[in-house]
Amino acid sequence: MSITDEMIRQATADLYSWALRKVPDDTKAAMAAAMETETSETARKTLAMQLRSAEMAEDKNTFVCSDSGVPVYFVKIGTRAPISGDLKKSIRAGYEILVDTIDPPLLQHVTNPLTLERSYHGKDMPIVSYDLESDAEYVEITCSPKALGSGRWASLELFTFPSLEEIETYVLDVAIKAGAQHCPPVIIGVGIGGTFDSCASLAKKQTLRTIGSVNEHPELAAMEERLTKAVNSLGFGPMGTGGDTTALAVHVDFSSGHGFTPVAVCFNCWINRRTRARLWGDGRIERME
Amino acid sequence: MAEHELTLPMSREAVELLNAGDSVYLSGEIFATAGMPTHDRLLKCLDGKEELPFDFTGGALFHLGSLIEESPDGQMRIRYMNPTTSTRFNGFMPRIIPGLGLRFTGGKGGLDAACAKTMRACGCVYLSFLGGGAPIITSAIRKIVAVGWPEMISHYRVVKLEVERLGPLVVGIDAKGQSIYDSTRDAANARRASIIEQMRIEREA
Query: Which DSSP string do the residues of A39-93 spell out, in sequence order?
Result: --HHHHHHHHHHHHHHHHHHHHT--S-S---B-EEEEEEETT--B-S-HHHHHHH
Q: Give pLDDT tens digits for B7-44.
A: 999 999 999 999 999 999 999 999 999 999 999 999 99
Q: Which residues of chain A have pLDDT under 70?
A: none
Q: Which pLDDT does position A196 carry in this prediction?
A: 97
Confidence band (pLDDT; 50, 70, 90) for B71?
confident
Q: How far is A259 from chain B (nearest CA, A)?
A: 22
Which of B38, B76, B139, B180 best tests the A interface by mutation, with the highest count of A CBs <10 A? B180
Separation between Cα atoms, residue A262 and residue A264, nearest integer Å: 6
Q: Is A267 on the interface with B (CB under 8 A)?
A: no
Is A169 in Cβ contact with B185 (below 8 Å)?
no
Q: Which pLDDT does position B65 carry in this prediction?
A: 95
pLDDT at B1 over 90: no
Q: Which pLDDT does position A152 carry in this prediction?
A: 94
Give every strand in the sheet of A186-193, ordered side by side: A155-160, A260-268, A186-193, A247-255
Q: Is A257 on the interface with B (CB under 8 A)?
A: no
Q: Which pLDDT does position B74 carry in this prediction?
A: 82
Comparing CA positions, the residue from A167, A210, A213 lying closest to residue A190 is A167
**Amino acid letter for position A193:** G
Q: Which pLDDT does position B70 carry in this prediction?
A: 86
Q: Which pLDDT does position B183 carry in this prediction?
A: 95
- Residues 6 or more apart from B113 whose CB is under 8 A from it? B179, B182
- Residues 6 or more apart from A277 whose CB is under 8 A from it? A11, A14, A15, A140, A141, A285, A286, A287, A288
Interface confidence, given as ipTM, is: 0.93
Q: Which pLDDT does position A149 carry in this prediction?
A: 87
Separation between Cα atoms, residue A208 and residue A251, nearest integer Å: 9
Is B136 in Cβ contact with A52 (below 8 Å)?
yes
Chain B positions touching A169 (Cβ under 8 A) are 196, 199
Q: Choose the closest CB to A65 out of B110, B132, B154.
A: B132
Backbone angles phi, psi at A149, to 5 degrees: -50, -45
Chain B positions touching A67 (Cβ under 8 A) are 65, 82, 84
What is the chain B residue with the closest CA to A119? B153
Model confidence pTM above 0.90: yes
Beta bridge partners of A103: none
What is the chain A residue with the closest CA to B64? A66
Indicate the SS3 state at residue B48: coil
Chain A positions touching B65 (Cβ under 8 A) are 66-67, 107
What letter would DSSP give residue B140?
Answer: T
Separation between Cα atoms, residue B59 and residue B62, nearest integer Å: 10
Separation between Cα atoms, residue A134 and residue A79, nearest integer Å: 5
Q: Give pLDDT tens digits for B155-190.
A: 999 999 999 999 999 999 999 999 999 999 999 999
Burial class (CB within 10 angstroms; exposed 0-12, middle 13-18, buried 19+) of A72: buried
Q: Choose the closest CB to B181 out of A169, A240, A270.
A: A240
Question: Do the Cβ atoms of A221 and B203 come closer than 8 Å?
Answer: no
Q: Give pLDDT tens digits for B127-141.
A: 999 999 999 999 999
What is the chain A residue with the closest CA to B201? A226
Q: Is A152 on the interface with B (CB under 8 A)?
A: yes
A201: alpha, beta or left? (left if phi > 0; alpha if psi -120 to 50): alpha
Count interface pairs A-B at CB distance under 8 A. Answer: 171
